[in-house]
Amino acid sequence: PVLIKFIDAKKDLSIQVHPDNTYALKNEGQYGKTEMWYVMDAAEGASLLYGFSREVSEEEFEERIRNNTLPEVLNRVMIHKGDVLFIDPGTIHAIGAGSLIAEIQQNSNVTYRVYDYGRKGPDGKERELHVDKALQVTKREPAATDRDFGPHVASCEYFTVDKVILDGLRRKKLTGEADGTSFVSVLVMSGAGKITASGETMEVKKGDSIFITAGSGEYELEGDMEALLTTV
């Protein structure tokens, strides 16, 4: 039901947008995409593109795609380790150079590319843009920046993400339960420790991804580390 990825961007990645379920099911035969980004690390001056800096018309949006000036009207967000962005369907976005991102998303491969810095594919031609479809699904306005997910890092109908911080001293253990409603994905953001579940104990460190199956009962995290826990 979800995809969990590491994206290590050495160069600016393409500017893109995802449709919602209704549009994607009708036009692509699969679901749309809701996703979130957690910044694991960022070089000095690294940034992301997130929505528009102001409201634009469909005509201006299309013209800027055609004449390669689209980035001029997009909202550039300077990023730092620990930042979170939630990306609703229809929100135009892009990952900038120098960003290491943990991406948690609805399981979908529907992406409409609208700007690609003139990059060329293996055939020597510029990669395809999906202008017509992007025009139909993009919200041509600034993206919401005041989302409140309560105690969670992010939460929607497709996934819930929580952050665990263990310091190895006063807070060195966390106990949870993988009940029958959802698996638990553990993504280690920094540090090291161990995870015990189903009678097994595993050593873990930064970058490890551990999958605790649904219905396996109580689990325990121990050590000096930060981790993201994802459930559905």
CA 125 to chain centre: 29
Strand 209-212 and strand 184-197: pairing?
Answer: antiparallel
User: What does each C-alpha distance from 120 to 29, 93, 98 come to in angstroms?
Assistant: 28, 20, 21
Q: b/e string for 121-133 if b means 16 or more Cβ within 10 A?
A: eeeeeeeebebeb
Active-site annotation holder among 64, 76, 113, 140: 113
Other Cβ atoms less than 10 A from the Cβ of 210: the count is 16
The two structure tokens encoding residue 129: 């843009």
Determine phi and psi for 137, rounding to 5 degrees.
-110, -15
Catalytic annotation on 113?
yes
Cβ-contact 173, 195 below 8 angstroms = no
User: What does each C-alpha distance from 207 to 28, 117, 163, 196 come to in angstroms?
Assistant: 33, 30, 15, 18
Catalytic residues: 113
